[in-house]
Chain A
Amino acid sequence: GENVEQHPSTLSVQEGDSAVIKCTYSDSASNYFPWYKQELGKRPQLIIDIRSNVGEKKDQRIAVTLNKTAKHFSLHITETQPEDSAVYFCAASITGGGNKLTFGTGTQLKVEL
């Protein structure tokens, strides 16, 4: 089955700096890659997603890049703010193939003032 690895497990940045979180996946059939943000004690919420027919997607301060050949994808957050502090999870799935999401182990992002 699919295996998703995520790095780093913790990331501390100064407010205004950029943050990058990287994930790799094992199943070349995976074609949908969402990123979720989870604040302490709260539900995971989708922040951005990308499909395998696209190499990059951007939404304001957040961008995701996908390299299908290398089977890795990354989340980029620019101009970080304290409210960006949370745990971020990457995930991968195969549309039409059961649709279940396989998650990474999460990255605890801390944005310091």
Chain B
Amino acid sequence: GAGVSQSPRYKVAKRGQDVALRCDPISGHVSLFWYQQALGQGPEFLTYFQNEAQLDKSGLPSDRFFAERPEGSVSTLKIQRTQKEDSAVYLCASSSQGGGGTEAFFGQGTRLTVV
């Protein structure tokens, strides 16, 4: 079956614009994560969902960042009033179980460039 799918692959936003990034996890996967990967760095945790519940949002850098997964499948990461420092690759990952310790499958990411 299909892996984790993210759209768009590339997004250029003018500073101050709002953006919405979409993640389609592997069907049936309980856990969904968002990570931010700056150039030359490892992914950094943003937020975690177990089904539709957002259990951890400790990594969201500011209140301009908002994520949702209303039906426990597709998730959207929204960034309001984008700033240049938001430029990064945003990775979504899903895993089959909620207890952790199982493989997290990553999408190809959305590369956001704020100009």
| A98 touches which of B41, B56, B109 (Cβ 8 Å) | B56
Closest to A103 in B: B42
Q: Is the CB of B48 within 8 A of A98?
A: yes
Chain A nearest CB: distance from B17 CB in Å? 24
Chain B facing A: main interface SS: loop
Count of chain B residues near A, Cβ 8 A? 27
Known contacts A43-B107, A95-B101; A89 and B42 CB within 8 A of each other: yes
| B101 touches which of A32, A44, A100 (Cβ 8 Å) | A32
List residues 18-53 of chain B with CB under 8 A from any CB of chain A: 31, 33, 35, 40-45, 48
Interchain pairs with CB closer than 8 A, number: 67
Q: Which residues of B contact A78 (CB under 8 A)?
A: none
Q: Which residues of B contact A99 (CB under 8 A)?
A: 31, 33, 48, 95, 98-101
Q: Is the CB of B101 within 8 A of A97?
A: no
Verify if B114 is at the interface (C-beta below 8 Å from A): no
Interface range on chain A (Cβ under 8 Å from partner): 20 to 34
Task: Give the most central of B48, B100, B108: most A CB within 10 Å.
Answer: B100
Q: Which residues of B contact A44 (CB under 8 A)?
A: 43, 91, 106
